[in-house]
Structure 1
């Protein structure tokens, strides 16, 4: 079954700087929404949580 990719509700189309995420087995996939065919990063749940925290902290 193909993963269901989701974009944040807070995402806008201004500038095209959006990412999509999907549950992939026991991991989280992250990809560029404007180039979805270019592959994705695969992160553990812990890595994804750390990434989100860094984004929230502005790092």
Structure 2
């Protein structure tokens, strides 16, 4: 996996605060897009944060 944590549908203000308070020793993905809008084909991180618009692909459960 490319990241430790992936945040989808994140507002700019949230990203700013998360970057400020999250530990620096992890790799994070921040995007304002939903999972399907990014066309990410494989699970990018062990921890995924989403809002209501994202649909988690079935193959990410494998």
Asked if these proteins are the same fold (TM beyond 0.5), I'd say no
Instruction: Give me the TM-score of the superposition, normalised by structure 2.
Output: 0.24
Q: Which one has the bigger strand percentage?
A: 1
Q: Which has the higher contact order (CA 8 A, sep 6+)?
A: 2
Instruction: Give me the TM-score of the superposition, normalised by structure 1.
Output: 0.25
